[in-house]
């Protein structure tokens, strides 16, 4: 029996057709004064309000039935204990084991704890050496700049976290280069000095052409100043990969290698040695706070009943919105510019995990899966695509992120600048709360006294766009750890319901293969003869 004809699914469909599918949220709030108490949950440093969704208690109850029908509890156990939930690649997905710190682990997840400890010790040695100024370049000067060369999971996680924690002062400058075209690389290298620059070569497979080609350019640049090739590898490169042999073959000495394992998915790898840039910026102790934040969320996910389980609740609400209310777009809207890269990060996490149309049995699914996800720093997006959210023809669900406390200035000090920043924080919060309110209520948000001003078809606000608001205590390693783990698990919950494997990414393979063939054709046009006319013409345009 396929999912969409299963009893729990059918029950939800009936429930939806009975009126909730078209019900106005303003009505739901009028009907139930306690609505927000029922549909919000505070856990540690996060307060999650999901009451601005078209749900009732019955909806949630039916969604929990669906979760039970899909054996979500069983899958959560399989995930956390290290069973091979990534069946197409025949391996577990044990990012939770990286942050467990020996607590509450069983099965394979428990077995790997010592290996994890050993690599963190190794990482700690390197981090302390660089941060204390004792990692020396070939000339004997201390390293001042660290360049992370990596792409996808080896780039986005560290980039997003280091940007988010930018108020924590780093003893070294961090840079990220990822794109295959090499423009980031050449621009950056013009500004750096070989003797004080250290590269991190981060690649899970150590075959990623994007990363290796940028690394080759870095080597050429280092060779302009360093005669001894061995010193290039021993003082100016650290490798992070699951493939120690390939790192050694490439030239990186064993003491400069950090290892992780194939049971860590690339987009789930910031918790492993891939997080080295984060630890370099904030120090190993704070990196461990990040891990601990995630662990707190893991424990919550593994033990709380569904009714109070945040990743489960948010995942099921997405299912409701996508599969029953037919909403296929999701906007990620952080109201703090430090979270600028959160949308990019979640784009990869969510769409690479669940952007699939074949279930675990290899059958094509007959229902919608992952939505298109995009986003931007909220206040900036208000001047860009919010027009579409308010008055377009697309139905969009939104996740808003706001902070209770801004820790980047001293709120107790009443200098002119601090007063202004405090006021700006209030402005950001006011905008965040106002936007989610208008998206929900539409015209009903217009105060009675101003109604006359809005008497125009162009000033009509349909509203009824659902949203979640996540109020974080602050932006600290711990709250970020909790937040990211929340989204990881929520993504897994959706994959379980849809019966898809959230941990593989076959969709990205063919393009890589064809790119190799195309590269050859760019050097030798005769190889393009079998290509389609469009591609042939493009090749001709750039080679002639």
Partner 1 sequence: MKISVFGCELSGLVTAGALAQTGNEVMALPIGIVKVEDLQNGVLPREEPGLASLIKSQYEEERLFFEADWSLGVEYGDVLFLSMPSWNIRKAEDIVDLISSTAEKDLIVVNQSTFPIGTADRFLQTIQQGFSCRGVEAKVAVVSMPEFMSEGSAVKDFTRPDRVVLGGDCQEAIATIRDIMRPFNYTVDQIKVMSTRAAEYTKYAVNALLATRMSLVNELANNAEHFDIDMEQVRQGLGSDGRVGFSYLYPGCGFGGPSFAEDVKTLVGTLESKGYDADLLKTVLSNNESQKEVLFRKAWRYFHNRLQDKTIAIWGLSFKPNTATVDNAPSLRTVEALVAQGAKVVAYDPKGKKAFQRYWGEDRQGVSYVNDMYQALENADALMVLTEWKHFWNPDYERMKSLMAQPVIFDGRNIYDLNVMKSKGFEYFGVGRGQFI
Which segment (7-15, 55-63, 137-145, 152-160) binds partner 1 by CB under 8 A?
137-145
Q: Closest distance between partner 1 and the C-beta of residue 144, in Å?
A: 11
Residues contacting residue 454 through CB under 8 Å, at least 6 positions apart: 443, 446, 460
Strand partners, 470: 48, 401
Tell me the DSSP string of 246-307. Answer: HHHHHT--GGGEEE--TTS-GGG-TTTGGGHHHHHHH-HHHHHHHHHHHHHHHHHHHHS-GG
Active site residue 383: yes
Q: Which is nearer to partner 1, 40 or 234 (CB)?
A: 234
- 287 contacts partner 1 (rule: CB under 8 A): no
Q: For partner 1, how many residues bind (rule: CB under 8 A)?
A: 12
Strand partners, 41: 48
What is the number of alpha carbons within 13 Å of residue 333 lying toward its C-beta? 28
Q: Which is nearer to partner 1, 132 or 366 (CB)?
A: 132
Report the candidate in 5, 11, 8 with the shortest Cα–Cα distance to residue 70: 8
CA distance 449 to 150: 56
Active site residue 390: no
Q: Are strands 396-403 and 329-334 parallel, antiparallel or unpaired?
A: parallel
Tell me, residue by residue from 87 to 126, as one string, x for binding to partner 1 by CB under 8 A and - for no binding. ----------------------------------------
Report the candidate in 290, 347, 91 with the shortest Cα–Cα distance to residue 204: 91
- Kindly state the tokens that stand for 454: 């809005």
Which segment (139-147, 305-313, 410-418, 493-501) binds partner 1 by CB under 8 A?
139-147
Q: Which is nearer to partner 1, 129 or 368 (CB)?
A: 129
CA distance 89 to 78: 16
- 473 contacts partner 1 (rule: CB under 8 A): no
- 233 contacts partner 1 (rule: CB under 8 A): no
- Kindly state the tokens that stand for 337: 């510019």
- 134 contacts partner 1 (rule: CB under 8 A): yes
**Which is the catalytic residue, given 195, 347, 352, 494?**
352
Evaluate whether 322 touches 368 at the Cβ level (below 8 Å): yes
**Phi–psi pair at 350, nearest 5 degrees:** -80, -50
- 235 contacts partner 1 (rule: CB under 8 A): yes
Q: Closest distance between partner 1 and the C-beta of residue 139, in Å?
A: 6
Which segment (11-19, 131-139, 283-291, 347-355) binds partner 1 by CB under 8 A?
131-139
CA distance 359 to 352: 15
Which segment (83-91, 229-237, 323-331, 440-448) binds partner 1 by CB under 8 A?
229-237
Residues contacting residue 224 through CB under 8 Å, at least 6 positions apart: 194
Which segment (217-225, 230-238, 428-436, 477-485) binds partner 1 by CB under 8 A?
230-238
**Candidate residues 41, 78, 84, 136; the one interacting with partner 1 per rule CB under 8 A:** 136
Report the candidate in 164, 422, 129 with the shortest Cα–Cα distance to residue 293: 164
- 234 contacts partner 1 (rule: CB under 8 A): yes
Question: How far from each other are the two terminal CA atoms of the chain, in whole angstroms?
Answer: 56
Alpha-carbon separation of residue 34 from 29, 37, 437 (angstroms): 8, 5, 17
**Candidate residues 138, 271, 287, 386; the one interacting with partner 1 per rule CB under 8 A:** 138
Q: Which is nearer to partner 1, 80 or 280 (CB)?
A: 280
Q: How many degrees, rounded to 5, is the angle at CA 510 between CA 261 and CA 353?
A: 50
Q: Which is nearer to partner 1, 139 or 326 (CB)?
A: 139
- 129 contacts partner 1 (rule: CB under 8 A): yes
Q: Which is nearer to partner 1, 140 or 457 (CB)?
A: 140
Q: Which is nearer to partner 1, 130 or 346 (CB)?
A: 130
Q: Which is nearer to partner 1, 135 or 498 (CB)?
A: 135
**Which is the catalytic residue, given 169, 227, 383, 541?**
383
Q: Closest distance between partner 1 and the C-beta of residue 80, in Å?
A: 41
**Which is the catalytic residue, given 193, 512, 516, 519?**
512
Report the candidate in 112, 88, 84 with the shortest Cα–Cα distance to residue 98: 112
Report the candidate in 223, 230, 240 with the shortest Cα–Cα distance to residue 147: 240
Which segment (91-99, 110-118, 128-136, 462-470) binds partner 1 by CB under 8 A?
128-136
Q: Closest distance between partner 1 and the C-beta of residue 231, in Å?
A: 5
**Candidate residues 140, 305, 362, 416; the one interacting with partner 1 per rule CB under 8 A:** 140
Q: Which is nearer to partner 1, 252 or 472 (CB)?
A: 252
Q: Closest distance between partner 1 and the C-beta of residue 119, in Å?
A: 22
Q: Closest distance between partner 1 and the C-beta of residue 225, in Å?
A: 13
Which segment (136-144, 323-331, 347-355, 492-500) binds partner 1 by CB under 8 A?
136-144
3-state SS record for 55-103: CCHHHHHHHHHHHHHCCHHHHHHHHHHCCCCEHHHCECCCHHHHHCCCC
Report the candidate in 205, 186, 280 with the shortest Cα–Cα distance to residue 250: 205
Report the candidate in 295, 336, 293, 349 with the shortest Cα–Cα distance to residue 476: 293
Catalytic residues: 352, 383, 512
The binding site for partner 1 (CB under 8 A) comprises 129, 132, 134, 136, 138-141, 228, 231, 234-235
């Amino acid at each position: 029996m396929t999912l969409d004809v299963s009893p729990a699914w059918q029950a939800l469909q009936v429930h939806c057709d009975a009126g909730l599918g078209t019900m106005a949220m303003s009505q739901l709030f009028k009907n139930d004064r306690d609505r927000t108490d029922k549909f919000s949950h505070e856990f540690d440093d996060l307060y999650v309000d999901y009451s601005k969704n078209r749900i009732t208690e019955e909806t949630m109850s039916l969604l929990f039935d669906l979760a039970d029908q899909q054996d979500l509890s069983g899958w959560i156990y399989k995930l956390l204990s290290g069973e091979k939930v990534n069946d197409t690649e025949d391996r577990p997905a044990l990012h939770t084991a990286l942050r467990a710190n020996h607590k509450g682990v069983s099965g394979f997840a428990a077995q790997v704890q010592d290996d994890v400890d050993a690599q963190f010790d190794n990482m700690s040695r390197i981090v302390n050496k660089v941060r204390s100024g004792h990692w020396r370049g070939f000339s004997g000067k201390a390293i001042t700049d660290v360049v992370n060369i990596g792409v996808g999971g080896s780039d986005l996680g560290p980039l997003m976290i280091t940007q988010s924690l930018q108020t924590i002062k780093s003893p070294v400058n961090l840079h990220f280069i990822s794109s295959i075209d090499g423009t980031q690389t050449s621009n950056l290298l013009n500004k750096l000095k070989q003797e004080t620059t250290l590269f991190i070569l981060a690649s899970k497979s150590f075959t990623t052409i994007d990363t290796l080609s940028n690394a080759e350019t870095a080597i050429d640049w280092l060779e302009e100043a360093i005669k001894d090739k061995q010193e290039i590898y021993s003082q100016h490169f650290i490798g992070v990969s699951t493939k120690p042999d390939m790192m050694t073959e490439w030239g990186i000495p064993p003491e400069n290698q950090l290892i992780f394992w194939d049971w860590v998915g690339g987009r789930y790898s910031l918790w492993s040695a891939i997080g080295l840039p984060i630890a370099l910026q904030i120090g190993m102790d704070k990196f461990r706070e990040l891990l601990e934040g995630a662990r707190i969320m893991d424990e919550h996910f593994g033990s709380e009943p569904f009714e109070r389980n945040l990743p489960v609740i948010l995942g099921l609400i997405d299912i409701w919105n996508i599969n029953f209310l037919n909403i296929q777009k999701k906007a990620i809207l952080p109201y703090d510019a430090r979270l600028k890269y959160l949308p990019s990060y979640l784009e990869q996490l969510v769409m690479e995990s669940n952007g699939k149309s074949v279930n675990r049995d290899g059958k094509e699914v007959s229902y919608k899966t992952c939505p298109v996800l995009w986003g931007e720093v909220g206040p900036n997006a208000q001047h860009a695509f919010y027009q579409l959210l308010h008055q377009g023809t697309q139905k969009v669900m939104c996740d808003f992120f706001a902070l209770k406390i801004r820790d980047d200035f001293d709120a107790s000090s009443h200098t002119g600048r601090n007063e202004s920043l405090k006021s700006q924080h209030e402005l950001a919060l006011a905008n965040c709360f106002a936007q989610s309110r208008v998206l929900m209520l539409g015209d009903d948000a217009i105060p009675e006294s101003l109604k006359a001003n809005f008497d125009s078809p162009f000033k009509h606000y349909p509203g009824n766009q659902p949203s979640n608001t996540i109020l974080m205590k602050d932006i600290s390693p711990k709250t970020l750890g909790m937040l990211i783990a929340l989204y990881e698990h929520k993504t897994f919950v959706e994959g379980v319901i849809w019966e898809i494997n959230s941990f593989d990414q076959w969709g990205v393979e063919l393009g890589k293969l064809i790119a190799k063939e195309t590269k050859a054709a760019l050097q030798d046009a005769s190889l393009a003869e079998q290509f389609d006319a469009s591609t042939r013409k493009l090749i001709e345009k750039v080679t002639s």
